[in-house]
Amino acid sequence: MPKLTRREILAGGAAVGLGSIAKASPFTSNLWVQRGTKPIVISSANGFMDKNAGPRTAVEEAFLQMGNGVDVLDALIAGVNIVELDPTDSSVGYGGLPNANGVVQLDSCCMHGPKRRAGGVAALEGVRTPSKVAKAVADLTDHHLLVGAGAQEFARNMGFTIEADLNTPESHKAWLEWKMRTDKEHYLDEKDREIKSLRAALAMADEGWIDPQHVYGTINCNGMNEKGEIAGVTTTSGLAFKIPGRVGDSPILGAGLYVDQNVGAAGSTGRGESNLYNCSSYLIIEEMRRGAHPKDACLTALKRVASNTVEKRLQNEKGQPNFGLVFYAVDKNGVHGGAALTPGYRYAICDEKGPRFVDCESLYR
């Protein structure tokens, strides 16, 4: 029997150790064990709800792809693709709730920390996976944001399939019900800015026509791989039954998403306009840069939103915001947190311990 060298003995021992850890948890990355950096994926709750007939949810898929050496942003996009392609998730991609004309218009943004590069699309029609188009914008153009017909033409040039209609029978049926409940004049005068169309959508959510959290539905997914590389992606069908052409916070850097390789990543779901007015994801990153815990940074952003919500139509009887808004963040050390305006929200996480839900902190109790 040939004599083993010291290097071969050490290598063999390391392999045994790694094999034992991998058996203990299928989500443990060998590279993480070797390098001492904990990979992590966090997302809005719908990242750990459905598998769309596949073997994994979004956070599981993203985490396992990172462990297999896939680029951090590519892994996150592969994760959210599961949700974008899921016809039962009415807040994202295929089957997302349409605009007031019954047309599904999609928004997405992605940001790669190490490359300091980002891409986005807005009001994109006909493509089930807008997150992939957003990444193509980042990788193949000198621009950040393409919108409407221009975004669709770019997608077509990049080889994406363009479909005539992204509605499912369920989303089309919900739109018809909404149309029956609202008047034909979608633009209302100043005196009636409580917006009857939104009231109808919320009433339909109460009655079970649509998921209450999908009136303002989105998926945000952020992650860090074993190399410490950070990225994020947000994708959505936007506000249910919105005015055609409306674009919320999701594709806008600093609002729906922001990543800083030296700090971390942050994103959101909920009422996009209130997020946009405060550039909240950028604010969260700056709070973490000053040393704040991700959860506390999210709460700071929510306090800013609350203080700037002054219109009566957007306030409850206590003068607090009457809409939903949730932030999610992870820092460069893998510390994560989420916060919402009101209780009852949670976010998804996948790390070496596996996938699970974590409760969000709430600004109001």
CA distance 128 to 259: 24
Return phi, psi of residue 18, to 5°.
Answer: -65, -40
CA distance 265 to 206: 33
Give, as one character, the DSSP assignment of residue 75.
Answer: H
The yes-or-no answer on residue 129 being catalytic is no
Q: Which entry of 218, 234, 236, 342 is annotated as an active-site residue?
A: 218
Q: Are 79 and 43 in contact (CB under 8 A)?
A: yes
Structure tokens at 317: 């009887």
CA distance 71 to 297: 27
In DSSP terms, 259 is beta-bridged to 265
Nearest to 195 by CA among 235, 147, 237, 246: 246
One DSSP character per residue, 44-62 reads EGGGGT--TTSSS-HHHHH
Tokens 């942003």, located at residue: 73
Q: What positions carry a catalytic annotation?
A: 218
